[in-house]
Chains A and B, each alone.
Chain A
């Protein structure tokens, strides 16, 4: 099922949580809504589910206008951050709930419900636990019961709110792989919300990066990591350094000192800008040509590389950048290091 979000605006007490957000999600896609807290990602998910009503805009499931439907009519599988399992019901009763509450005519017979519950329990690898209560399960098991319960109603779309947020690191990694395999097997259109970029980049077909109620960029992991289209995405995804620069006459300068790089691609061509680059995308300059120059404040060994924290600038205008230096380069504190970015992006200065 395709999901199309069209110019959605959502205000809470006149305070806007989403500004004119549009998004096309393909059928069978696994998509991540990624952003810091307050970016509107959970609000967008709840709007798609019908748990919130948009102030403006529409949501389509396929060609159907879902915005005219209630949460019950939308047939979405929603997995809540804290699972929201019914504590007074057993695992089997929890999973069967969505089938038992159907109107008499559509309700499957009891034997059929029991069979479906068993099938779903097997699918989430929890066979044998049907008589347990939620408080007798571990976090990862509860998560999977919540998923089975959502899947029981044969949803058109599967929505997960911070699905791994409440789990410890090891379980989280296991479940992440498991969810990917589960998605590939069932083929549901799946949308999940996360603030963990590693999770989004590893798991999703496409990542929707959100900030302050707006979508900043939609793309594959490679797109958002290698070709970030805004200063926010560049600094939010992965490690990065940024410096205020002046661009003009085909050169990039920091405080009038040329850096030995020229603007290219979508970079700012003249005027004030902000230079972004990643720590690993630099080359050391030893021949005295134009370069960025800084003294090592601290350096630390990180697995196969060394990260140097450089002081760039003057006491009146201090800047720090972190770059990767070869292990054999001298990076003791106080050493002068000259380098040039090899891949970078210059965005217009803010404001």
Chain B
């Protein structure tokens, strides 16, 4: 040989042998395909099994339309409310020192640690026929349980942590400096929030709202307990999927399910895009 080349080509120390590498990759891909892609594909395949016409007809059912409408209403009420609650809670925890702060932080996590079914049951106990509150409200013409208010309450409870959890670390990291600067320059509290705090947290906030919305539309357990499954009235999309499925109406069940799956996919894509954007933003914030 003309060149002095080592007779053995050595790999970088952290690189495995090709066989091991491909085996690991194949295993990961197989796992993903089996447990994530296959079920997702199955949803869409089942939905379109009898053709696009059947799919559209299934979605056009009055009960299905009512379920979609209810889901949108519930998300439309609970997401903005949780946006406000989440910002308020994150603001309080990140920017102020007070007694019981650690307790409040733990409390925000409660909906994550409690089974959604329990969350629903809490409202049944609180507003049910046997409770003190339920009959009184009923006598004033307000139905909570097995009606829209109960579903909204259960959804708010379950989705409460998303916005707050997203904002607390972000706001803690940013500290109070920018707000103090704005105040010392003469800005009012509202102006400080509007022009300084909100722009600083906007990407994190959007991200939290997105996750909150996905969960609000997809929540099953808690809503199932308080809804009463009244067709066309208190059925949300996830509940409606279950009912249709139990009636062996597979095309309709999977058609509605494909809408929910589509929502999840859109959320994921937007979330990934946001992460790209939001990551750069955070990095810029740190450099500052």
Contact = CB atoms under 8 A, between A and B. Distances in A.
Interface of A: 49-51, 71-72, 75-78, 80, 82, 84-88, 97-98, 101-102, 133-135, 149-150, 152-153
A84 B187 CA distance: 15
Contact of A87 (B188, B191, B285): B285
A86 B191 contact: no
B288 A78 contact: no
Interface string B164-192: 00000000000001101111111110010
B32 to A, nearest CB: 38
B159 to A, nearest CB: 28
Contact of B187 (A72, A80, A85): A72
Contacts of A88: 199-200
Q: Which of B182, B188, B288 has the most CB of A within 10 A?
A: B288
Contact of A101 (B177, B186, B288): B186
Contact of A49 (B184, B187, B196, B284): B184
B195 interface: yes
A101 B191 CA distance: 7
A85 B288 contact: yes
B287 interface: yes
A51 B182 contact: no
Given A80-B177, A86-B178, A102 B288 contact: no
Contacts of A71: 180, 183-184
A85 B196 CA distance: 10
A152 B182 CA distance: 13
Contacts of A150: 184-185
A134 B180 contact: no
Nearest to B185: A98
16 contacts: A51-B183, A72-B183, A72-B186, A72-B187, A72-B188, A76-B184, A80-B181, A84-B180, A84-B181, A86-B195, A86-B196, A87-B178, A87-B288, A98-B185, A149-B181, A150-B185
Interface in B186-245: 186-188, 191, 195-196, 199-200
A80 B176 CA distance: 11
A100 B204 CA distance: 26
Given A51-B180, A82-B177, A87 B200 contact: yes
A102 B188 CA distance: 9
Contacts of A77: 184
Contacts of A152: 185
Contacts of A101: 182, 185-188, 191, 195
B140 to A, nearest CB: 44
Contact of A97 (B187, B188, B200, B285): B187
A85 B184 CA distance: 13
A76 B187 CA distance: 13
Contacts of A98: 185-187
B138 to A, nearest CB: 49
A231 B199 CA distance: 50
Contacts of B195: 86, 97, 101
B181 A86 contact: yes
Q: Which of A85, A88, A150, A152 has the most CB of B within 10 A?
A: A88
Contacts of A97: 182, 185, 187, 195
Contact of B180 (A75, A80, A85, A87): A80
Nearest to B179: A84
Contacts of B191: 101
Given A78-B180, A98-B187, A101-B182, 14 more contacts: A49-B184, A51-B183, A71-B184, A84-B177, A84-B180, A85-B181, A85-B288, A86-B196, A86-B199, A87-B200, A88-B199, A135-B287, A149-B185, A153-B185
Nearest to B194: A101
Given A85-B288, A135-B287, A153 B186 contact: yes
